[in-house]
Amino acid sequence: MKTGVWLSYDLGIKGDYSGLYQWLDSHDAVECGNNIAFFKMDVADKDIIETVKSEINKNVDIKNGERFYLIYKKADGRYAGKYIFGNRKANPWEGYGQQPTNEEDL
């Protein structure tokens, strides 16, 4: 059964875009905004993370600091996401919203 997945990627300025784009094109991926692609893979639910990670690792020269985040639908119908390369950074929007306070002004 084919599973639809979204892949968010952050390769910076000197990333291996040609390797990534070649791999995405071979999977008939479609563009979904800046650095986000959607494609379908014929993979069992429990293997989707390792399969995508392994294929990207074989086809893209991944440098330190680059990030790939995979969003997929689990067998139970819920969606999940996981960094397959790299880690989460601090939110760039932190501090812009108003936070309620329970403190009393003196």
Amino acid symbol at 52? V
Q: Considering the entire predicted model, what is its pTM?
A: 0.84
**For range 70-91, the mean pLDDT:** 90
pLDDT value for 105:
60
Cα torsion angle, 20, 22, 28, 31, sign? positive
Give Dmax over CA atoms of the chain in angstroms: 64
Chain segment 5-46, per-residue pLDDT in tens: 999 999 999 999 999 999 999 999 999 999 999 999 887 656
Which structural domains are found in the chain, ordered by start? 2-85 (3.30.70)
pLDDT value for 46:
61
